[in-house]
Amino acid sequence: MDERVLSREANHLFNQGDYAAALGKYAQIMETHPEAADRVLFEMGVVHAYPHNAHKDYRQSLECFQKVVRDYPDSDYRHDSQMMILQIHNVVIKDEKIAARQAALDRSRQALESKTDEVAELKETVAALEAKVFAVRMEPADKVLIEKQARQLTLIAKGEVIKTYTIALGGNPVGPKEREGDNKTPEGIYFIDSRNGNSGYHLSLHISYPNELDSMRARDRGVRPGGDIMIHGIKNGFSPVGTSHAESDWTQGCIAVTNQEMEEIYKLVPDGTLVEITP
């Protein structure tokens, strides 16, 4: 039978989804028309690897394409066969990875199912902790801890940390404030004694510096202790600097956070809250 007729029949079977019959027809062409072997091998390789072929066989497909490359170096199908070999290798590797991940997922699922009681207990523990944190966050802070060396401000309620913020300090941050104009941030125990919703630094909370000890030390030195120490936001007009403000200590002794952070602190810290500032 004419090779072109057989090829049309094979293509028709392929298009109908009868892949086994198509392969049989291509094998017949190989026997009766060996001059078309390179093209037929290529077509058979495609059928073996075709995604909709429920019985696809990548090994058989590779053998077909490799035979074209090896035995027919001048074939018009050689380059396409090389590309198909690469493509099949990629598919096989991907399938192997998917299978490995699926196996790992199955193992994890089995391990999880075998520890149902432990998981339930952990869920209860997490739920209790979440409830505890939620309850704490609903309460105002009763202490503000400012750690100068760590550049951190921490809000605390009933011994539990509500939130921690990164801060900037006075331009001369080492050591306690000693006198007016030294650009140092105080160290000691203070309170929030007032607030300003129209601050030149977005919002501000006033710290009760100087306390009695600060005033006594200043008198002994014959200097003025200074004042107006605040927890505040970014200077009005400069809010776009955001968190980058904390890359350097830029205040005149105050404690600075971003405007968004200051809004949180302003809400959570009532007047009278204890403020501890450590070196």
Longest dimension (CA), the chain: 119
Q: Cα(136)–Cα(142) distance, rounded to whole angstroms? A: 11
Strands 152-157 and 255-256: unpaired
Annotated catalytic residue: which of 48, 206, 245, 254? 254
Residue 202 annotated in active site: no
Under DSSP, the state recorded for 251 is B
First and final C-alpha spacing in the chain:
98
Helices marked H in the chain — which ranges? 3-15, 19-32, 37-49, 58-71, 78-114, 116-137, 212-221, 259-268
Count other C-beta atoms under 10 Å from residue 123's C-beta: 10
Under DSSP, the state recorded for 35 is G
Annotated catalytic residue: which of 48, 202, 206, 232? 232
Residue 89 annotated in active site: no
Is 178:218 a contact under the CB 8 Å cutoff?
Answer: yes
Is 75:68 a contact under the CB 8 Å cutoff?
Answer: yes
Strands 274-278 and 255-256: unpaired
Q: Cα(147)–Cα(21) distance, rounded to whole angstroms? A: 80
What single-letter amino acid sits at 167? I
Query: Residue 45 has which token pair?
Result: 């390789």
- Which residues are marked as active site? 232, 254
